[in-house]
């Protein structure tokens, strides 16, 4: 089945995000954002959950039961990298820790 949004790797069949809380720390000197995004998920079933990333270094992922394993897909010119969280329980909260990279900044 084709994805609903051709510019995203997210798959609504995996579940949906109900709420996002974003905490950012700004390092102006290094031009880096370090952040944590906490997602409240509404899953119909447990399993993988895909998110979009572009120009982010993923530092870790945790759920209500502890550390989550994840995979980053290959870089796609349009989509960036797919972040696949593995074995996410249904209706869980997930926290992604990340930092921006030079690829996050554009000169356009």
pLDDT score of 52: 92
Tell the residue number behind the tokens 């998920």, with chain if given. 41
Q: Is residue 70 part of a domain?
A: yes
The total number of structural domains that make up the chain: 1
Structural domain range at position 19: 12-103
pLDDT score of 14: 85
Q: Is residue 3 part of a domain?
A: no
CATH number for the domain harbouring residue 93: 2.60.40.1730
State pLDDT tens for residues 20-45.
999 999 999 999 999 999 999 887 67
State pLDDT tens for residues 69-108.
999 999 988 888 999 999 888 788 999 999 999 888 765 4
DSSP string, 44-98: SS-EEEEEEESSEEEEEEEETTEE--EEE---BTTTBEEEEEEEEPTT-EEEEEE
Neighbours of 31 (CB within 10 A): 11
């Amino acid at each position: 089945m084709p994805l609903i949004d051709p510019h995203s790797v997210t798959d609504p069949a995996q579940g949906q995000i109900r709420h996002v809380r974003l905490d950012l720390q700004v390092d102006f000197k290094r031009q880096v954002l370090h952040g944590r995004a906490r997602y409240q998920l509404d899953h119909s079933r447990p399993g993988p959950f895909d998110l979009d990333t572009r120009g982010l270094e993923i530092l870790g992922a945790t759920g209500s039961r502890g550390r989550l394993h994840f995979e980053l897909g290959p870089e796609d010119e349009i989509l960036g990298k797919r972040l696949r969280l593995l074995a996410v329980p249904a209706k869980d909260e997930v926290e992604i820790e990340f930092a921006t990279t030079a690829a996050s900044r554009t000169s356009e």
